[in-house]
């Protein structure tokens, strides 16, 4: 009997939770705010779903109800991706400068 592909995805999911658990515990408390902003940015990888949705229209009509929701989701996810990574970068740059100042 063949194994349903869902089981493989479920395995990836469960193992990733464990990876996440150990990785996040090793994050230093002083970087908890950047952790939140970067997790925000990476969870916007949901944009891949949004892109598929946006391209679901055909060449005659790009816009249908489904693809419009896709385009809106693309814009929202893009705000998050750019905003999330850039603001994280900005914060982390501040942490770095100080060590240099000190040494």
CA distance 2 to 21: 31
Minimum distance from CB of 2 to another protein (Å)? 15
The tokens for 7 are 């089981």
19-58: which residues touch another protein (CB under 8 A)? Answer: 19-21, 23-58
DSSP letters along 35-76, please?
HHHHHHHHHGGGHHHHHHHHTTS-SS-S--HHHHHHHHHHHH
| 98 scored as a contact of another protein (CB under 8 A) | yes
* CB contact at 8 A, 51 and 74: yes
Q: Is 2 in the site for another protein (CB under 8 A)?
A: no
Smallest separation (angstroms) from another protein to the CB of 99:
7
Site string for another protein, 62-91 (x = CB under 8 A): x-xxxx-xxxxxxxxxxxxxxxxxxxxxxx
The total of other beta-carbon atoms located within 10 Å of residue 90's CB is: 11
3 binds another protein, rule: CB under 8 A: no
Provide, rounded to whole angstroms, the least separation between the CB of residue 3 and another protein: 14
7 makes contact with another protein (CB under 8 A): no
6 lines the binding site for another protein (CB under 8 A): yes
């Amino acid at each position: 009997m063949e194994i349903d592909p869902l089981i493989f995805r479920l395995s990836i999911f469960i193992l990733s939770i464990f990876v996440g658990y150990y990785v996040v515990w090793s994050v230093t408390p002083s970087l908890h705010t950047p952790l939140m902003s970067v997790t925000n940015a990476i969870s916007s990888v949901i944009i891949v779903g949004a892109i598929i949705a946006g391209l679901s229209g055909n060449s005659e009509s790009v816009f249908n109800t489904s693809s419009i929701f896709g385009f809106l989701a693309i814009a929202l996810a893009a705000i998050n991706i750019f905003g999330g990574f850039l603001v994280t970068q900005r914060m982390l740059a501040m942490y770095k400068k100080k060590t240099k100042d000190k040494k």
